[in-house]
Amino acid sequence: MTRWTRNLILVASLTALPACASTPAQRGLMVFQQVCSACHGMEHVAYGDMSSLGLSPDEIRKWAADQQMPNGTDDNGDPKTRPATATDPILSPYPNEAMGRLANHGLLPPDLSRLALTLPGGAEEIRQILLSYAPTPAGMTLDEGRYYNTALKWKHIGMPPPLQDGMLTYPDGTPATSAQMANDVSAFLDWIAHPHQAERRRIGVYVVTYLALMAFLTFLLQRRIWRAHR
Amino acid sequence: MTSPLKTPDTDPPDWLERRLPVMSLLRRQYVAFPMPRNLNAFWSFGAFLIVTMAFMIASGLFLAINYTPDITQAFASVEAIDRQIPSGWFIRSLHMGGVTMLFACLYIHIGRSLWYGSYKAPRELLWLTGLGLMLMVMVTAFAGYVLPWGQMSYWGATVILNAVHAIPLIGQPLSELLLGGDTLGNVALHRLFVLHFTMAFAILGVIALHVAALHVVKSNNPSGIDPVSPSQTLPFHPYYTSRDGFALCLFLMVYAGLVFFLPDLLTLADNYVQANPLVTPRDIRPEWYFAPFYAILRAVPSRLGGLLLASGSLAVLFTLPWLDRSALRPATRRPMVRLSLPLAFAAFMVLGVAGMHAPTPAWLLASRVAIAWWFIHFLLVMPLASEREMSS
Amino acid sequence: MTQSETPPSSDGTRRRDLLATGTVVLGCAGACALAVPFVESLKNPVANPLSDRLLDVDLSSLTPGQDMSVRWRDWPVFIQRRTPQMLAALQAPDHLATLRDADSKVLQQPKDATNWHRSVRPEYGVLIGVCTHLGCVPSFEKPGSTPEAKGGYFCPCHGSHFDAAGRVARRAPAPCNLPVPPVTFLSDTKLRIGHSAGDPGFSMSDIQQI
């Protein structure tokens, strides 16, 4: 699917959502919560921002309360944490860069806030990467912490294969195959990298319609005013 | 609608008029103001510029309310504007799309003046204030682009400030004044924020001068012959207000298209990565409106030479009223200029496209030819053409 | 200066006036609509009910007659441990006569603090330290620090007096008693601010004045 059609489907599904079904981006949030967030954060996105994806305040509060936020230091000077709230950012699970690198063979899992915008190829590239893991071919040796992946130029990546068929259960009954999850999570990351996109287009239609009407009226007006001099 | 023809003298003097004659001033300058009858669509771009500038100031003020000029928080504060501040995404897109609209209109506005000879006597000051406005807009745009503190902000600013540094004599003290330190950091970001904010209002002031000068010398027109009798003019209102209004609606449709449907079309995605002083992005390039000058810097195999040619390409415009002394204004009536000027326009566009591509030998060659033609046109063709026209 | 212009024909004038008025009105409406997102952006994005936070406070170090301040939802919260003398002073009839709202009739506290000591337990007072007059932070007058000090609060800005239960004196400009936050005692020395077990439906947005 091209980026364009996927965006269209996303917009359509966000504007007219049947109560029982869920959108790819909503399912993708589930994949983020249960899989990606083990290593990645979205530090510019707040838990509360998910309300425009259709999450209820209670769902957001519950999700946030399960996450810990740094909260100064205690009386001994040791770092303290507190449960996150809706206005808190979705931080990386690693408290700092050094810990993130230590846990990942020296590589830092990137922040996902804008990844679908800044990664060349965008969300489609993310989907391809997630689908292109394969066993390392015979005769090829990879460094420790590298995984064979045909979507990349050098055929390896630092991220271990994250998705397995059936590793989670979608509440809407969609079978959670790797392909389905890759699809959903890339739709979610596309949504998160283009904040307010559906609203932007919806309002844009009204604005352009209004301006077209104004253009028509001012055209009639100026033609009438100028007619005497033509 | 039927009153524009009334002169202020026939109106009964009212309370306000006796104390502050703004109403009669407005009527003289914006209602009954005599305009040539034959202006074409290119004369609407000044109105577009005023409106875009108003959008920039309004959106800029509201962005400044939510922006934090601190290198640890600037990027996050811009992200928060895009994501969490109510309608913040709209205001920011208005500002980002506005830069494109502003420069596009500015270049067309200047191109129109070049084509129809609007820079010639008695409009030299109008031309010079206009070019001054262009330089001020460029400085403001540069300072503003640093503020989100993304990768392009950081590296663009680094390159430009080093270029300033390379200017002989004044370069070093000037770049030190801007940086306030050894490298681009917190102090520089705060200074650029204040510079950006202040320049916006300085621009408003110079726009007032530009418009005041216009109202003294009146508009040029496509024929290049100033109207001499009232029968050759039309009052600004309702004739040009209605026409500019229509043109403005079309203009705003393009602007709205950019804001609502293609917000990422003209921005570089790398600027959504926070500035990292340890890594320069692989395909670093300027925004489209600076691309022609960037192409000149790259095409000249000497740092000082590139800087001189890039600034010289603008400096020649300032001397144009004196390089071109012919009384003939529109290029349509000047055979040599009619051939040479479109090539100069094309050269500018070639440089713009070259500036957005990797510097392959083909693009470097094209850039060099374009630079050469730009200077040939202004320094050779224009004086020669005016020489011939004056002698004939 | 353009007197030679012929006015538009009479049949055109009416339609143009309607057209012109309509265009101008619609244009102004568009400009007003444009102002909406700008005003909208000034609204506080954090002000949503999801941001209510709970704060647990350890009271074991608080001795009778002492007070402490903690920050909850960006408000200073005063916690005082009352001595028997302070509690007696709160009930003195001549003192009650000087108060504007001695019986806490105005909704400035959860139901479980609508009593003579304006707190869940008489020996602990918990108040939001924001003067109901114009928002300054009153200072605690430690009992015994001066002859008149009985453990009340004094606002330095415009001289409002509050007693130890946060009840405002009649001669003060402040209109209401100091607000009481919703609190729950988790144990004898552990206090949770942000939720009231005795009045679970209470929300800070319900109170009269803060």
Question: Nearest chain B Cα to C2, which residue?
Answer: B230
Rounded Cα–Cα distance for residues B310 and B293 (Å): 6
pLDDT, position C2: 38
Which chains sit next to A, with 3 or more Cβ pairs under 8 A?
B, C
Q: Is the peptide bond before B238 cis (omega within 30 degrees of 0)?
A: yes
Q: Domain A3-41+92-195's class?
A: mainly alpha
Question: Nearest chain C Cα to B80, which residue?
Answer: C45
Q: Residue B351 contacts by C-beta under 8 Å, 6 or more apart in sequence?
A: B291, B292, B293, B295, B296, B367, B370, B371, B374
C173 with C97, same domain?
A: yes
Rounded Cα–Cα distance for residues B105 and B114 (Å): 14
Residue of A108 and A11 predicted with greater confidence: A108
| Average of per-residue pLDDT values in chain A | 88
Range of the domain at C27: 1-43
Instruction: Decide: B236 and B30 in contact? Cβ < 8 Å.
Output: yes
CA distances, A189 to each of A29, A30, A172 (Å): 8, 12, 20
ipTM of the complex: 0.91
Q: Does residue B14 surpass a pLDDT of 80?
A: no
Give the residue from B165, B163, B189, B166 showing the smallest Cα distance to B175: B165
Sole residue written with tokens 């009798």: B229
C134 with C173, same domain?
A: yes
H/E stretch holding B65 reads helix B45-66
| Residue pLDDT, tens place only, B215-250 | 999 999 999 999 999 888 999 999 999 999 999 999
**Other beta carbons less than 10 A from residue B385's beta carbon:** 23
SS3 B150: strand
Active-site choice (C95, C133, C158, C161): C158
Sole residue written with tokens 């790819």: A24
pLDDT, position B13: 65
**Other beta carbons less than 10 A from residue B345's beta carbon:** 15
Binned at pLDDT 50, 70 and 90, residue A1 comes out as: very low
- Asked if A87 and C48 come within 8 Å (Cβ–Cβ), the reply is yes
Is C158 catalytic? The answer is yes
Rounded Cα–Cα distance for residues B45 and B244 (Å): 9
Mapping DSSP onto H, E and C, the string for C57-105 reads: EECCCCCCCCEEEEEECCEEEEEEECCHHHHHHHHCHHHHCCECCCCCC
* Partner residue facing C2 (CB), from B58, B87, B235: B235
**How many domains is chain C built from?**
2
Residue B14: which region, alpha, beta or left (left: phi > 0; alpha: psi -120 to 50)?
beta
Residue B252 in contact with partner chain C when CB distance is under 8 A: no
Which chains sit next to B, with 3 or more Cβ pairs under 8 A?
A, C
Residue of B73 and A229 predicted with greater confidence: B73
C17 with C87, same domain?
A: no
- Asked if B230 and C38 come within 8 Å (Cβ–Cβ), the reply is no
C127 with C201, same domain?
A: yes
SS3 C52: coil
Rounded Cα–Cα distance for residues B85 and B96 (Å): 17
* Partner residue facing C48 (CB), from A86, A217, A220: A86
Q: Does residue A57 surpass a pLDDT of 90?
A: no
Q: Give residue limits of the domains in chain A.
A: 3-41+92-195, 200-230
Rounded Cα–Cα distance for residues A177 and A168 (Å): 9
pLDDT, position C11: 52
CATH number for the domain that contains residue C53: 2.102.10.10
Q: Does residue A113 surpass a pLDDT of 80?
A: yes
**B251 CA to centre of own chain:** 16
Q: What is the DSSP string of B209-248?
A: HHHHHHHHH----TT-----SGGGEEEIIIIIHHHHHHHH
Rounded Cα–Cα distance for residues B31 and B12 (Å): 18
Q: What is the DSSP string of C113-139?
A: G-STTSSSSTTEEEEE---TTTS---E
Rounded Cα–Cα distance for residues C126 and C120 (Å): 9
A40 is in an annotated binding site: yes
pLDDT, position A18: 42
Mean pLDDT, rounded, for B46-52: 97
Q: Which domains does chain B have, with CATH numbers?
A: 29-280 (1.20.810.10), 285-392 (1.10.287.980)
Rounded Cα–Cα distance for residues C145 and B379 (Å): 88
A44 is in an annotated binding site: no
Sole residue written with tokens 């083990």: A38
Residue C46: which region, alpha, beta or left (left: phi > 0; alpha: psi -120 to 50)?
alpha
Select, from the ranges A3-17, B42-56, C168-182, the one with the highest average predicted confidence (pLDDT).
B42-56
| Residue pLDDT, tens place only, A130-154 | 999 999 998 888 888 899 999 999 8
Q: Which two tokens stand for residue C32?
A: 């007003």
